[in-house]
A = this chain, B = another copy of it.
Amino acid sequence: MALIVQKYGGTSVGSIDRIKAVAAKVKSWSERGHQLVVVVSAMSGETDRLIALAKSIQPRPSPRELDVLLATGEQVTIALFSMALEDAGCQARSYTGSQVHILTDSAHNKARIRDIDAARVRADLEVGRVVVIAGFQGVDEQGNITTLGRGGSDTSAVAMAAALKADECQIYTDVDGVYTTDPRVEPRARRLDRITFEEMLEMASLGSKVLQIRSVEFAGKYKVPLRVLSSFEEGEGTLISLEEEIVEQAKISGIAFNRDEAKLTILGVPDQPGVAHKILGPISDANIEVDMIIQNIAADEKTTDFTFTVNRNDYPRAMEMLRSTAETLSAKQVLGDNRIVKISLVGVGMRSHAGIASTMFGALAKEGINIRMISTSEIKISVVVDEKYLELGVRALHEAFGLAGETAA
């Protein structure tokens, strides 16, 4: 018998029929003797409907009141889901975030979980109830309703699993696991049986939007085994766990990519302490997130060249700021390109294998793909290439690292 936390997203509970189908699934887990805690999102479309209502009243809705409004979405689902379980003959009880004291900070619309009082949930589990919990929401120390931001239900599930010391946290979604790369780009992409938290973090932050990144961090921190699997099909999904538990270690686990990149370069900046801050300060003050940052000494050795990437949506604003900074700093020139993409190899195995980078660069060169930027971390190598090479580059790397083929054991 195991204690399992399951999370079902908005699509999985998007209609009365789906709620009933998922309830039947949960019931069958319960009948196999497991203790079940189910975390649910708002029915698909509901959060958007509520946001539209708010905006029809206030163009920038009060963050506190927006949370009061949005929290109703999950509250509707927990009630309906519990009814569906009870109708199927399975004892159930629902709780809002506030009722199980999912304590968060007071950052409305993007709160972070601080603590969970799991005693009430445990008491219900002991008497054989399935516990249904509203994801995405919590309560601050003053009793105000908070929400965790989009995708926050994943984090709610992981936090609940950590608080209950659950055996596994299962995230049900519309894909059946984590793949070596996006199957829409490389049809031979393979589902991974296992992946480490670190790899998953790199995959998630690089655009494999299977899980909310914060939930993976949380799971890693509290060592909660996390499984991604399909709401609609049977299957084992992908287990995300600690490195030591993964016996046979592949060098590379997967290839992530990000289409939304744009790069900006400022050339011939005087090479003085504080210059990086002068360049990036205004950008970050404007809440523009910077991804890669590269600095090179220029040919004359007295000035430096500085390149960074931002989200494509922020490109025009960032470009404008950089031009103004260039004037202040008497820089030579400002360049920009918003038709680039980033492709990254991810794998804990690369720590101990020096040849990975050269294999990567060789595979891209063979296809005539020019590398515009390179950035590396312990378990990741990223390259920036022209947009048009995305598919070709991903497939070449997938082939070069032997990722295709049957699902590995």
Q: Chain A residues in contact with chain B, CB under 8 A? A: 16, 19-20, 50, 53-54, 56-58, 61-62, 64-66, 68-69, 71-72, 75-76, 78-80, 82-84, 86-87, 92-94, 96, 98-99, 120, 143-145
Contact = CB atoms under 8 A, between A and B. Distances in A.
A48 B56 CA distance: 23
Given A62-B83, A65-B92, 17 more contacts: A54-B80, A57-B84, A58-B84, A58-B86, A58-B87, A64-B93, A64-B94, A68-B78, A69-B75, A69-B76, A69-B79, A71-B75, A72-B76, A72-B79, A75-B75, A99-B144, A120-B143
A50 B83 CA distance: 13
A135 to B, nearest CB: 15
A162 to B, nearest CB: 22
Contact of A66 (B53, B79, B92): B79
A145 B94 CA distance: 10
A301 to B, nearest CB: 57
A57 B19 contact: yes
A54 B77 CA distance: 10
Contact of A83 (B54, B84, B96): B54
Given A16-B56, A57-B16, A62-B86, A96 B68 contact: yes
A27 B278 CA distance: 47
Contacts of A64: 93-94
A300 to B, nearest CB: 57
Contacts of A76: 50, 53, 69, 72
A280 to B, nearest CB: 35
B82 A65 contact: yes
Contacts of A96: 68, 145
24 contacts: A19-B57, A50-B76, A53-B76, A53-B80, A54-B79, A57-B83, A57-B87, A58-B87, A61-B83, A64-B94, A65-B78, A65-B79, A65-B82, A65-B86, A65-B92, A65-B94, A66-B79, A66-B83, A68-B79, A72-B76, A72-B79, A96-B145, A98-B98, A99-B144
Contacts of A16: 53, 56-57
